[in-house]
Amino acid sequence: MTPAVALQVASLCLIAVSCANGPVTPIEASPANALSLQANVWTTISDPSDFRLENDQNGSLAFDFPADPGSMNYLYNTRPPRSIGGVMIVSLRVTTTGAVVFNYMTEPFNTCQTPAHVRPFIWANANASGDNDRWWSNPASYQLAAGSTTLTIPLTPGRWSNVNGTFGTSSPAALAAFTAALRNVSSLGLTFGGGCFFGHGINVKGGTARFVLSEYRIE
């Protein structure tokens, strides 16, 4: 990971304008339980920081993974429902060319061996940086490779863990924090990572890869 993106991840984009992809234009209507996939209401923590997001001909959200030494860390929607419950449903697709390798070794201290994955996450409390302000789907995720999947994840405390890997079922305090996060959502999205970390970034070597998000909804 370059120093620029390391600083960006550490700051967690607490100043929202620093992560914006440009002026927000009027968005098309979408089902009440679905996030808009329009590129201008999504943003990233990434290298480069002005990461290109686009909509394909089907209206899905798409981007090309950066080559080494860039990274895609977080992809998130800045206009989520403020309170959620039920089930999260996320449909995605990855296409590749060449003998692509999804590289998660962006930092020298990332010494674990878990392959590169993408997984949904919840960011609460005005995108704050406390231990209980971000919750990740765990273990439900998608190992990055050519293919597609639909993840269906109950919004229940045993299926989500916080910054420290603590599940919402681990203690009364963790349960209270998870419940509070569901009632004060500020962003919803996906993170990319591997090794020891869910969101410390992915780049590609030896080929190219494209990520397409076709659905992100709560039921």
Its sign, for the CA torsion 32, 36, 41, 46, is positive
Helix (H, G, I), strand (E, B) or coil at 46: strand
Could you tell me if residue 211 is inside a domain? yes
CATH number of 120's domain: 2.60.120
Could you tell me if residue 81 is inside a domain? yes
Sequence-separated (6 or more) residues with CB below 8 Å from residue 162:
131, 132, 134, 135, 136, 168, 174, 177, 178
For the chain, 219 residues long, give each residue's pLDDT as a single digit of tens.
Answer: 554 444 444 444 333 333 333 333 333 435 568 999 999 999 999 999 999 999 999 999 999 999 999 999 999 999 999 999 999 999 999 999 999 999 999 899 999 999 999 999 999 999 999 999 999 999 999 999 999 999 999 999 999 999 999 999 999 999 999 999 999 999 999 999 999 999 999 999 999 999 999 999 999
pLDDT of residue 168: 98
pLDDT of residue 4: 46
Could you tell me if residue 28 is inside a domain? no
58-92 confidence digits (pLDDT tens): 999 999 999 999 999 999 999 999 999 999 999 99
**Structural domain of residue 113, as residue ranges?**
3-21+36-218
β-sheet bridge partners, residue 96: 209
pLDDT of residue 1: 58
Could you tell me if residue 29 is inside a domain? no
DSSP 158: G
- What stretches of 69-206 show up as alpha helix (H) in DSSP? 172-182
Could you tell me if residue 127 is inside a domain? yes
Could you tell me if residue 153 is inside a domain? yes
Residue 176 structure tokens:
């209270």
- Measured CA to CA in angstroms, residue 21 lies from 87, 183, 210 at distances of 29, 27, 19
Residue 29 structure tokens:
């209507």
- pTM of the predicted protein model: 0.86
133-156 confidence digits (pLDDT tens): 999 999 999 999 999 999 999 999
Could you tell me if residue 169 is inside a domain? yes
Could you tell me if residue 31 is inside a domain? no
Output the average pLDDT for the chain.
89
Q: How many domains does the chain have?
A: 1
